[in-house]
Structure 1
Amino acid sequence: MRIRIFSDFNCPFCWLGSRIIAKLREELDFQDEWLPLELHPEIPEQGSELLDKYLQEELDGFVRTLNSRGEELGIHYAPMHKSRNSHKALLAGEFARDNGAFHAFHQRVYVAYFTEDRDISSDAVLKECASDCGLDPVRMIQAVQDGRYEVRLADVKKEAKARDIQVAPTFLLDDGQRIVGAQSLPLLREQFVAIRSGLTAL
């Protein structure tokens, strides 16, 4: 079974989804392909203040909910202050994909953003993430800057629009079914098993 997942680094639920998928890979036979869908290109490179849109108590409650869900997955969310522009990070993720370190880089960027509260639009932060994953940070930034991966982001955006995908994560499965949002591990396992069994029966 093949699962294609539309996701963005500035989506906290995508981090939950990525860890759920990692656990399910240990149990079930499937291939997962993560597609870089930039949800909010309008966010400036310096980021945008969340308190301009939400009350502090809303943000605190949101983080508590995320940490409640993330505990069983071994992930922790720090208090949230800013939304970050994810464009460079998504381009860097494509470099990591081409150099055999996509999953490691994927997780490292999420940790930098949501646990360490760092700016993932910063070249310095992305270079550190690359080094931590055994990637050449200089080559990665060169690849981000020379635009070689821009067409991939454009193609994913085009496909998402054609499929009316507006939420991340969105999971597309072999039989055309879609699952929207980072559902719980037991529920996603149940859905994957049911779909895989249906495909096997065919």
Structure 2
Amino acid sequence: MDNMKAIFNKETLELAKELLGMELVHDTAYGELAGKIVEVEAYKGPEDKAAHSFGGRRTTRTEVMYGEPGHVYMFLIYGMHHCFNVVSGPIGKPEAILVRAIEPTNGIAQMLLNRYGERSKYTKVHHRNLTNGPGKLCRALGLNMGHYGLPINQSEIQIRPYENLKESNIVAGPRVNIDYAEEHVDLPWRFSIRGNPYVS
């Protein structure tokens, strides 16, 4: 368990790339719901105009980011879509990594039910669109604000090794939907697995 906790004690951009290919797991009453992480975005705290903690903003919403790395930071967008983040950076330096997309690996039937309900025909189209976005993957995995602050790998939320990637398989580019971030809009802090169909 200590070894799994130690994976989060890394510089945020380095950790963001290392999360690619790892498996995000939610242990539920229906069994494990899981997917390989295929796309992430790094947010570098007080000096990053795209970060919720820009300028040292400290609120009830951002408080967990000021603590130890390796905890869950959840937030809502548009008041309805949950987003799952891994707290990173040293204590007192509020940084986080948004998981933007996963490739389903386990519990897919339940994930389809979570997303589409009983009407789902479980088609290949549904599979492709199941978890290719931050709100989609949270709905599929059953993640919500109740998971805010949980210690990863010491709770029902786990991130564990799954696939080793070469650096050449990682693509870097600008983050999405941060037009407000001025000169930080184009920072290449979104990382994804080259050619993966589940990238958002």
Q: TM-score range by the shorter chain?
A: under 0.3
Greater helix share, structure number: 1
For normalisation by structure 2, the TM-score amounts to 0.22
Greater strand share, structure number: 2
